[in-house]
Amino acid sequence: MIKYLIIISFLCCQLVSAQKVQFTTAVFQTGDSALWATQSFNDKEWKPIGLQTYWEEQGHDKYDGFAWYRIHFNLPSSLKEKAALQDLMEVFFPGIEDADITYLNGAEIGRTGLMPEDKGGFRSGGKYRERHYILRADLPALRWDKDNVLAIRVYDGGGTGGIVGAQSFIRFLEPVDYISMDAQSSDFKIKDKTVSKEITFQNRYSKNLDGVLTTTLNCNDSLVKKQVKSVSLMPGKNVISVLGLASEEAATVNFVFKETIKDSILQSIQDVPYILTPKEKKEPKINSASAFGCKLGVPFQFTIAATGTRPMQFEITDLPKGLKLDAVKGIISGKVEKEGTYRIKITAKNNTGKDQKIVDLLIGTKNTIATPPMGWNSWNCWGLSVSDEKVKSSADAMISSGLANHGWSYMNIDDGWESSERADNGSIRANEKFPDMKLLGDYLHSHGLKFGIYSSPGPKTCGGYLGSYQNEESDAKSYASWGVDYLKYDLCSYRRYFPKGILTLEELKVPYLKMYRELESSGRNIVYSLCEYGVWDVWKWGSEVGGNIWRTTGDISDNWTSLKEIGFTQEIPASYNGSDYGFGDPDMLIVGYVGWGDNLRLTRLTPSEQYTHISLWCLLSAPLMLGCDLARMDPFTYNLLSNDEVLAIDQDVVGKGPKKTDLPNDIQLWVKDLADGSKAAGLFNLGDKLLKKSFKLSELGFANAKSIRDVWRQKNLPSRDEIEVNIPSHGVMLLKIVSK
Ligand code: GAL
């Protein structure tokens, strides 16, 4: 009779399958004793308990503290015989609250969290944290074909306690458990439109494990390419290259590794970057905007942005008095003492040819900048960990990568550069990460770049560093002495001066106006970038307080929701934009390696979303501030940021905002009037499906089109009354339309 009962009790606490012994119930006791860990302890008096819900729900309401679970199970040797690999086993619990130490027949096999007696005291192992306790199958404590006891000492520090979750079990590790596949960490490599990728496998088993790696490329929901490769994974690291993933349209790649012994699968699906910008030519091409603004009688610096092989020789006709040209670097510098618009003709020559462009230098006009600033800001990549070294490494990369040749020029330090105390004379100082601001400014200028900085009208910045409150004059002078060209002025702690968080508009304007006056008399041409997150419709009065650009939104983040919420709500703010007024700033770009701190990652936006991001910002006439580590730029990101026809839409000298039209099926059309009378238009697919459709040009409002150009691909479309579009989910088709 006794024997019969024991068998029954085994049956009700374990389910044996070919792969695992599953646990469903245990016996339970509150309190604590080291004896309860052993296999031989007599727990007959203990009460049964389920393993799927907290002990509070099983008669131990509000119990916090120590309790033990004992799970009896038989370990059939057939489990071992059937295992593909007989080396390691796993004891698995989906969750234990809060901390546990787990014993098998008296031997500790794992622990999570800290117990009250541990150094530092109790610490929860983390809610919902799975336990994967691995043991060798030859562990002497294991009792094959006999009663085994898993004893789990649990400590509940408050709230619910105990073992919870769908399934707890013991099993042998399968071949696939020894293998990890990392297809995410490496960048897609792109060379002449051939995309490749390295996949890293780790084989933690002692022998080779074989399998088949199948790569499929899908475009517009149909299979484009399939590659099947047999692989034998050696113990340790294995790097496998997969080539030929090239696609000229949005595509996804599916990597599937199937190991041979059990046919188990590891899989990763990713969006493949697709290249749209044609390759740069050897011949010179001047890419600078056709207007550049500067205040009167202050240092002037303008670098001609031009692509084409170096060395290149620059010439200028009609350069105004006071300016000189560095004919090799293409940097124009000096000081102009007479107000006016100076039309200059720039020539760029190299051994393959030449290019010419007319540029207007606007000296002393109302808005300091003629076109939205293009450059880099440290915030979206480095956050508060920005340093002199990091700024320089991105500056060097701005030049060496060739990005500067497309017009990118500002190098702006965001928050995190300020020291914790002012100097004795009250002037602001940089912290230890920036040994010499003047030297840094000189370094940037010598490379033809511009130097930007950040502060707050409050006593503290958003990152808790020193702001400019009551030190505006001194700070503006310090910036000017370092050679600063750009100031981002971020509201932050200034809000605290209004206890209920309420400011009147007039109160809000005061600190911005104050700093503007100081910048005006600083003796430098400092672009003034207001950052107050768009409150009180800043686009209506940003210019009045001297702003050249003004943030129209809260902080952006590298995901589609954020991009969509910010970007596609800019119609009204951008409708105020204009070269003679200023530009709304929907925040910095979220492409490339970003991270807001020391740990950077490739943006979470898909390639199509990134084309949308850049296209929309250009249509909005928004400042283009890269927020990524330029020293670690992948080929896709470079390609995305170096399309001169796209950038020219942003840098159009009229600087207007676009008009939006909603079309059926989550399609939006944004159209911007350009200075030459043509129009730029973005047809955005905000939906989740590919948009394959033909549009009548009259439907889009372009009935009179003489020519219509696909701007990303830099190709004219056949001139018909209709256009065929194939726009991926969250993607865009960017067009330039010239009317008859
Ligand atoms: C935020 C601002 C960010 C960044 C940050 C620095 O208020 O929106 O762009 O400048 O402060 O602390």
Which region, left, alpha or beta, applies to residue 106 given φ > 0 means left and ψ of -120 to 50 means alpha?
A: left
pLDDT tens, position by position, 309-352: 999 999 999 999 999 999 999 999 999 999 999 999 999 999 99
pLDDT score for 193: 73
Q: What is d(CA 97, CA 31) in angstroms, rounded to the nearest whole number? A: 16
Long-range contacts of 77-84 (CB under 8 A, 24+ apart): 77/144, 77/145, 79/16, 79/18, 79/19, 79/20, 79/21, 79/171, 79/172, 80/137, 80/144, 80/172, 82/18, 82/19, 83/137, 83/172, 84/172, 84/174, 84/175, 84/261, 84/262
Query: Mean pLDDT, to the nearest integer, of 68-92?
Result: 96
Q: Per-residue pLDDT tens for 662-689?
A: 999 999 999 999 999 999 999 999 999 9
Distance set, CA 729 to CA 277, 510, 569, 689 (Å): 20, 45, 19, 5
Kindly report the protein residue whose alpha carbon is nearest to atom 7 of ligand 1.
Answer: 462
| Chain Cα centroid distance, residue 311 | 36
Residue nearest to atom 6 of ligand 1 (CA): 415
Q: What is the pLDDT of residues 253-285, one digit of tens each?
A: 999 999 999 999 999 999 999 999 999 999 999
> Which of 14-18, 312-316, 368-372, 380-384 bottoms out in mean pLDDT, i.e. has the lowest?
14-18
Say how far residue 445 (Cα) sits from the centre of its chain.
Answer: 29
Residue of the CA atom closest to atom 11 of ligand 1 = 462
Greatest CA span in the chain, whole angstroms? 112
Q: Which ligand 1 atom is at minimum distance from the Cα of 462?
A: 12
Per-residue confidence (pLDDT) for residue 13, from 0 to 100: 55
What separation in Å is there between the alpha carbon of 389 and the centre of ligand 1?
21
In 3D space, the residue among 550, 539, 543 whose CA is nearest the CA of residue 573 turns out to be 539
The yes-or-no verdict on residue 11 having pLDDT over 50 is no
Domains and CATH numbers, the chain: 2-173 (2.60.120.260), 177-272 (2.60.40.10), 285-363 (2.60.40.10), 374-589+596-608 (3.20.20.70), 659-739 (2.60.40.1180)
Question: Of the residues 385, 414, 417, 552, which should be mutated to test ligand 1's pocket, given the most ligand atoms within 8 Å of the CB?
Answer: 414
Does 529 contact ligand 1 (Cβ within 6 A)? no
Of the residues 555, 666, 673, 710, which is catalytic? 555
| Ligand 1 lined by 415 (C-beta under 6 Å) | yes
Is 418 touching ligand 1 by the criterion CB < 6 Å?
A: no
Strands 410-412, 450-455: pairing is: parallel
| CB of 532 sitting under 6 A from ligand 1 | no
pLDDT at 3 over 60: no
Phi, psi of 509 (to 5 degrees): -70, -30
Question: Could you confirm whether 318 is annotated as catalytic?
Answer: no
Distance from first CA to last CA of the chain, Å, rounded?
100
Residue 414 beta carbon below 6 angstroms from any ligand 1 atom: yes
414 catalytic residue (yes or no)? no
Q: Which of 233-247, 510-524, 529-543, 624-638 has the lowest mean pLDDT?
A: 233-247
User: Is ligand 1 within 6 A of the CB of residue 530?
Assistant: no
pLDDT tens per residue, range 122-141: 999 987 899 999 999 999 99
Relative to the CA of 463, which ligand 1 atom is closest? 12
